[in-house]
Amino acid sequence: DIQMTQSPSSLSASVGDRVTITCRASQGISNSLAWYQQRPGKAPKLLLYGASRLEGGVPSRFSGRGSGSDYFLTISSLQPEDFATYYCQQYYNAPLTFGGGTKVEIK
């Protein structure tokens, strides 16, 4: 199974900050990576797929990049509604696996 490791596990930031979350796969996954946002008590919501493709309706302050086994989610200017937990997910190989999550908290 492909292991997905996210860092940091949590971070504190202020509204307007630029935030970057890292997701590292245990092997190369050829951009077969999705990012989800999960607000407390809610279902995950798809943000990006194909490592860098923005899902429809997702604000452009969210962006993704990466290659091989290392991927990054960046929020260019943190908004109040962005305080949530973010998960990466690889779909290169079965079984589908998720990172452990990164909780973005208000400083």
Partner 1 sequence: ELQLLESGGGMVQPGGSLRLSCTASGFNFRNYAMTWVRQAPGRGLEWVTDITGSGSYTYYADSVKGRFTVSRDNSKKTLYLQMNSLRDEDTAVYYCAKNILSSGDFYFDFWGPGTLVSVSS
3 in contact with partner 1 (CB under 8 A): no
CB of 1 to partner 1, least distance (A): 9
CA distance 107 to 30: 35
For residue 16 the two structure tokens come to: 């307007």
CB of 33 to partner 1, least distance (A): 9
93 in contact with partner 1 (CB under 8 A): yes
57 in contact with partner 1 (CB under 8 A): no
CB of 101 to partner 1, least distance (A): 5
CA distance 68 to 61: 24
Member of 66, 71, 78, 97 binding partner 1 (CB under 8 A): 97
Residue 86 contacts residue 40 (beta carbons within 8 Å): no
Member of 13, 22, 30, 46 binding partner 1 (CB under 8 A): 46
- Residue 21's nearest CA partner among 76, 72, 78 is 72
Contacts of 81 (CB under 8 A, 6+ apart): none
Provide the binding-site residues for partner 1, judged by CB under 8 A.
Answer: 34, 36, 42-46, 49, 55, 87, 89, 91-101
